[in-house]
Amino acid sequence: MTKHAQRLELDKILFLAANYAVSEGGRRAVLETEPTGDLFEAEERLSRTEEAKKLLFELGGGKLAQFSSLLDVPERAEKGATLSCEELLSCAVFLRTARECYENIHRFSGELIPKLSAISERLIFDKKLEQNVFEKILSENELADTASELLYSLRQKIRLLNEKIRARLADFLTGEESKFLQEPIVTMRADRFVIPVKAEYKRSVKGFIHDCSKTGQTVFIEPEEVLEMNNELKTLQFDEKEEIERILKELSMRVGRMRSALETDEELLILLDSYYARAEYAYALKCVRPALNKRGILDIKKGRHPLLDQKAAVPVSISLGKDYSFLLLSGANTGGKTVTLKMCGLFCLMAACGLFVPAAEDTALPVFDRIYCDIGDRQSIEENLSTFSSHVLNLKEICEEAAGNSFVLIDEPGGGTDPEEGQALARAVLVTLLKKGCKGIVTTHFSALKEFAFSEKQVENGCMEFDAKDLRPLYRLKIGYPGSSNALLICARLGLDEKIIEEARAHLSDGAKAFEHTVRAAEESRVKSEELLLETEKLKKSWQEKLSALEKEEAELQKEKEKFLRASKAEAKRIVARRTEEAEELVGKIEEIFEKQNLTEADLIKARTLKNRVENLPPAEEQTKTRLENIDPKMLKIGDRVLVGSLDAEGVVLSLKREKETAEVQCGALKVQSKFSELFKPVAIPKKEEGSVRVVKNLQERRNLARECNVIGLSASEAEIEVEAFLDGAILQNLKEVRIVHGMGTGTLKKTVHALLRKHPHVEEFRLGKYGEGESGVTVVTLK
């Protein structure tokens, strides 16, 4: 890592990202990442990070299991070494990790995560070997009895023989020989069973003496009777050890044959682990993938320096590379100039390492060949260099090495020496870098540089905003304007004696005073105008929202009005159809009577009666009639029954707004706002007398609505109108549950009815009829 990358603190970012790795190899891979200057490679790295983030946090794929490096284990196994139980278990864990990683990635389509799929395709694993190791090896130093049939048989014999030896020795503990014993116990010496015998009785117990106590009072004798059994036990134990060695040797040979595959798997798993770590770091900091380019265009949207507290950091937006090559940042100390400068360089390095950046979407970053920076006090005691000398050496290196596709970041060039000479040096360096075609950001307090930025097309001023009223930095960047240093104001805020500050102001040159005053006044005016603009935008947005709400309300009322009109037309059509049907039925009966050849007096009376019934049928439009009377607004009060003219429906007054001449009326389940001029008082009129003529407006009296609507035989559009009218009437009648009969047929009417019910605002739920209700030929509707 170059010293410039370290000055921008890339090493700290890589350290934080590396902590998310599950393996030491993955952690080291992140820490050792070098920024690339190749656009294709940088895009490849970001694509892998993006796919890892998608796999972990969108598709629900699992993380890598923790694994350790196999070191030289596969190599030793290939050369014929017998691996220990611990080493074989580590190989099995590694194989399982490779297999689970492969399966985890290939659960999803390769089109979703093509980069990771291509990497995982190269993983090689042996599930059978993995299972054999876990089945045969119980721990780091123990094999399972079932590792082989021979091992099982040997261990069974060993257990039985142990029990036999212990049983025989137990006889010594309880029999006549027990008087010779120091203690009634069985113990082990040299892996053989022995008993502790008092030294004075050692000749009384026949057997082989294996040991004696430190005091010499006890000797440990292997009785003659168990000597052969102990010999047989020893033989079985040797056989057991040989079988264990054979099993471990066999498993080791299989591991050795996979040496190349295991070494490749380790490289691939470390690579995947490093990108999973990048993805987790991106998720933790809410980072986004930047769009990369090789044109030197930097456009950061709401960027936050990754080492700052992400909750407290003020987002900064900054751009350069399109209309200008260098950005000259000025403004008050502690205002965020250096942090912003370092953030821009760090973001470019992070993207070149395959790391997402903490910014908003649509952030664009360039891929530079080299990034140079001169930031902070690099005074060297060892090399006997002053602050100024250190800066000059950095500037010398930058001016010599920087080229067309370089990014240069300089914090206050020309500092640490005479201001007049310093600003001349800073301008000369800036001109040199412009001629080389570099891109970069420079921070400064020099007025001459700010003036230079106004005259040079490739340099743009930018300032970190400062609240002169509260004497505090706002940490917001404004491009296109120079910033005032506000040094004396900050000194006052920090408590420096006012006399000293006044003395300092007295020593300022007239030109410096005028320039600072102009810059400060311009900055204050701009801040005020932006605040006014922001307030205006808020008011505009508020009025637009209110206007949209009114338009929406008007549209809803118009929709309700049209619905009532459709319902009225449908009701009229139904009444006419019913009257026509009744008339046709009566006429049909009369015709049947007159078709008889011999009419009786009774037939004539019946026919005359039917004729009178036909004549007395009321016309479809003739119902109970009411007269509309305009309501006096002064007499109108809450609770009055009124008729809303625009909806042709009756309702109850809920509230009054006399200043606006409007009232809120409850019409069935609907609440409407209506003007006083549209409210009427319905008054019933007496039956028409002979010879009298009255001009009236006929209103159909609301009748008790049937709870069932039959649309069988209607077209889909006719059925929709019929059902809408039926539902509106049911709502006005405050019905809770109704039935719609649509039949089974082809299912078209049922689909039409159900589509209407799903979007109807007053339908709570609906279902098909149960057994005895018409089943799938009927829909039962519950209204709100």
What digits encode the pLDDT tens for the residues 653-671? Answer: 888 888 878 888 887 666 7
377 band by pLDDT with thresholds 50, 70 and 90? low
pLDDT at position 273: 96
Q: Count of CB atoms within 10 A of residue 396's CB?
A: 11
Q: Which helix (H) or strand (E) holds 78?
A: helix 73-78
Digit-coded pLDDT (tens) for 533-549: 778 888 888 888 888 88
Q: Which residues lie across from 652 on neighbouring strands?
A: 641, 666
Q: Which helix (H) or strand (E) holds 214?
A: none
481 band by pLDDT with thresholds 50, 70 and 90? confident
Digit-coded pLDDT (tens) for 315-343: 999 999 999 999 999 887 777 888 999 99
- Highest mean pLDDT, choosing among 176-190, 290-304, 459-473: 290-304
> How distant, in Å, are the alpha carbons of 687, 688, 695, 713 from that of 692?
10, 7, 10, 45
Q: Which helix (H) or strand (E) holds 298?
A: strand 298-303
Which pair of structure tokens corresponds to residue 104? Answer: 């985890």
Digit-coded pLDDT (tens) for 681-716: 766 545 444 444 443 434 444 444 568 888 887 888
pLDDT at position 696: 40
Digit-coded pLDDT (tens) for 205-230: 777 787 888 888 888 888 877 888 88
Residues 449, 454, 457, 459, CA torsion sign: positive
**Contact predicate 395/440, CB 8 Å:** no
| pLDDT above 80: residue 479 | yes
| pLDDT above 80: residue 573 | no
521 band by pLDDT with thresholds 50, 70 and 90? low
Digit-coded pLDDT (tens) for 383-414: 445 677 888 888 999 999 999 899 999 998 88
pLDDT at position 121: 94
Residues 765, 784: Cα–Cα separation, whole Å: 9
pLDDT at position 473: 67
| pLDDT above 80: residue 176 | no
Residues 407, 400: Cα–Cα separation, whole Å: 14
Q: Which residues contact 251 (CB under 8 A, 6 or more apart)?
A: 83, 88, 129, 132, 133, 136
pLDDT at position 13: 96
| pLDDT above 80: residue 513 | no
Q: Note the Cα 176 to chain centre separation in Å.
A: 82
pLDDT at position 187: 82
Mean pLDDT calculated for residue range 612-619: 64
pLDDT at position 510: 56
Mean pLDDT calculated for residue range 32-46: 95
| pLDDT above 70: residue 509 | no
pLDDT at position 690: 42
**Which of the pair, 210 or 93, is modelled with greater confidence?**
93
pLDDT at position 549: 83
Which pair of structure tokens corresponds to residue 337? Answer: 């100039």
pLDDT at position 434: 93
Question: Beta strand 649-657 with 641-644: parallel, antiparallel or unpaired?
Answer: antiparallel
Q: From its phi and psi, is residue 254 left (phi > 0), alpha (psi between -120 and 50) or beta? A: alpha
**Contact predicate 762/783, CB 8 Å:** yes
Among 190, 270, 391, CA closest to 21: 270
**Which of the pair, 562 or 676, is modelled with greater confidence?**
676
| pLDDT above 80: residue 53 | yes
Which pair of structure tokens corresponds to residue 474? Answer: 């706002």
Q: Which residues contact 545 (CB under 8 A, 6 or more apart)?
A: none
pLDDT at position 16: 96
Residues 325, 784: Cα–Cα separation, whole Å: 66
Residues 416, 428: Cα–Cα separation, whole Å: 16
| pLDDT above 70: residue 281 | yes
| pLDDT above 50: residue 379 | no
| pLDDT above 60: residue 451 | yes
Give the type of residue at 204.
Answer: S
| pLDDT above 70: residue 524 | no
**Contact predicate 779/723, CB 8 Å:** no
**Which of the pair, 591 or 45, is modelled with greater confidence?**
45
Residues 768, 771, 777, 779, CA torsion sign: negative
Mean predicted lDDT score pLDDT of the chain: 83
**Which of the pair, 273 or 625, is modelled with greater confidence?**
273
- Highest mean pLDDT, choosing among 364-368, 698-702, 741-745: 364-368
pLDDT at position 208: 78
484 band by pLDDT with thresholds 50, 70 and 90? low
pLDDT at position 39: 95
- Highest mean pLDDT, choosing among 429-433, 570-574, 599-603: 429-433
| pLDDT above 90: residue 162 | no
Mean pLDDT calculated for residue range 39-65: 93
pLDDT at position 468: 59
Residues 287, 50: Cα–Cα separation, whole Å: 11
Mean pLDDT calculated for residue range 345-365: 96
290 three-class SS = coil
742 three-class SS = coil
Q: Which residues contact 28 (CB under 8 A, 6 or more apart)?
A: 18, 270
- Highest mean pLDDT, choosing among 298-302, 475-479, 666-670, 751-755: 298-302
**Which of the pair, 732 or 373, is modelled with greater confidence?**
373
| pLDDT above 80: residue 124 | yes
Q: How many helical (H) and strand (E) elements, i.e. helices and strands, does the chain have? A: 21, 26
pLDDT at position 28: 96
Among 10, 61, 54, CA closest to 32: 10
Q: Which residues contact 494 (CB under 8 A, 6 or more apart)?
A: none
> How distant, in Å, are the alpha carbons of 303, 310, 311, 319, 495 from that of 307?
12, 8, 11, 21, 30
Which pair of structure tokens corresponds to residue 82? Answer: 């017998």
**Contact predicate 327/339, CB 8 Å:** no
Mean pLDDT calculated for residue range 228-235: 85
Mean pLDDT calculated for residue range 169-182: 74
516 band by pLDDT with thresholds 50, 70 and 90? low
493 band by pLDDT with thresholds 50, 70 and 90? low
Mean pLDDT calculated for residue range 717-730: 83
Residues 687, 607: Cα–Cα separation, whole Å: 29
Question: Beta strand 406-411 with 439-443: parallel, antiparallel or unpaired?
Answer: parallel
| pLDDT above 80: residue 296 | yes
